Chain A
């Protein structure tokens, strides 16, 4: 048994390394024209010719291969309290109020369920680099129990994600991962070095903005907040621009 686990682990690491990609974002495979991506709190995701839309209970699958004619292919009841969707490679991660659902979308029009990670009822967006998943759990008006933390899941065995670390937060919301840097909206935007999953280190903090979601893009942080839309330099955390709600 131990040997099998070790084998799977080595296999996973090998693949992870071969892939060479330590970057994470929900970038869609929009080959023809550069970058196209949403944030961690998105309910829409695109892979190839397929648009995924989650509503509170369903995964809706639209064929968008033809410009003038999108078609609803499938509406599947996948649970309840579904809040976010995050695609990575051939996998789709759904953040629900009770956990994370992982689907295989190697055949984009017919996703198949892989596994589920359950936690207590809370609001939670999720991001991943394929090897690890990061999710925030937050107390919200409609989100059940009082808990505020960042959880890190080990996906070595994708059939059984295991939580390997939980870090207390204040009121965490959206998050974004770039390499080993994790940006978390938590009373502003907190920046963590997550090289060591068991001991993540806060390396920066953009305070005083009621941030809801963050997207890493071109070494910039795009931040939506209750009071407007901000952009920051992602290494120096200097504010570049701000659309303020007046």
Chain B
């Protein structure tokens, strides 16, 4: 009888502990998770792509008749604004982890996550070339929440880079 009682108490204790852990996980789990890319892939992915719809416009930079519109964490839209009533979406430069851009003498500077890169487009924007890359000069992209990313940082495998944060789908 006494034994059963002891076991019951133990069981209740364990259940309570489990529930506490589970609810802690539910309530305190970060709502965003980082998306990782290997450094090699991230660098190789900087390419001129077909123009695409502007989804989440971020910062913009005006350079002569061109407007560069950041697609947050994805890259830069290049718009030819020679006719402001009918701007042409001429291309999309994929730059993972990109948050801002600036242009000098036609040379495009942007952050490729933690790297600063310089991109030289051909005059007709039919091709681009990455002409400079400063690796790991900028801070790792932070979670949209102001907390909860340190655990992920500890777990991040070597030679990978956080290129964006996405809401947990679980």
* Residues in A lying within 8 Å of B, measured CB to CB: 28, 30, 32-39, 41-46, 51, 53, 55-58, 60, 62, 64, 67-72, 75, 142, 212-213, 215, 217-218, 220, 222, 224-226, 228-229, 231, 240-241, 243-246
Contact = CB atoms under 8 A, between A and B. Distances in A.
B163 to A, nearest CB: 16
Contact of B87 (A56, A218, A231): A231
A215 B134 CA distance: 29
9 contacts: A36-B62, A36-B63, A38-B61, A39-B60, A58-B139, A228-B57, A240-B85, A243-B53, A245-B55
A46 B85 contact: no
A28 B137 contact: no
B47 interface: no
B116 A43 contact: no
Contacts of B81: 231
A37 B109 contact: no
B84 A218 contact: yes
B59 interface: yes
A142 B62 contact: no
B86 A215 contact: no
Contacts of B69: 224, 229, 243
A113 to B, nearest CB: 21
A245 to B, nearest CB: 5
A241 B63 contact: no
Contact of B142 (A33, A56, A222, A240): A56
B19 interface: no
A114 to B, nearest CB: 23
B138 A224 contact: no
B85 to A, nearest CB: 5
A88 B45 CA distance: 35
Contacts of A44: 59, 61, 100-102, 109
B116 A53 contact: yes
B102 A46 contact: yes
Interface in B58-108: 58-64, 67, 69, 79, 81, 84-87, 89, 99-107
B104 A36 contact: yes
Contact of B131 (A35, A68, A229): A68
A20 B5 CA distance: 90
B interface, over-half SS:
strand
A71 B102 contact: no
B23 interface: no
A224 to B, nearest CB: 4
Given A35-B64, A228-B57, A60 B137 contact: yes
Contacts of A51: 102, 104, 109, 116
Given A64-B118, A240-B85, A215 B104 contact: no
Contacts of B120: 67
B4 interface: no
Contact of B106 (A33, A46, A72, A75): A33
A221 B128 CA distance: 29
Contacts of A41: 59
Given A51-B109, A64-B109, A241-B84, A38 B104 contact: no
A50 B101 CA distance: 14
Contacts of A231: 81, 84-85, 87
B56 interface: yes
Given A53-B111, A56-B142, A224-B69, A67 B53 contact: no
A70 B105 contact: no
Given A36-B62, A243-B54, A28 B104 contact: yes
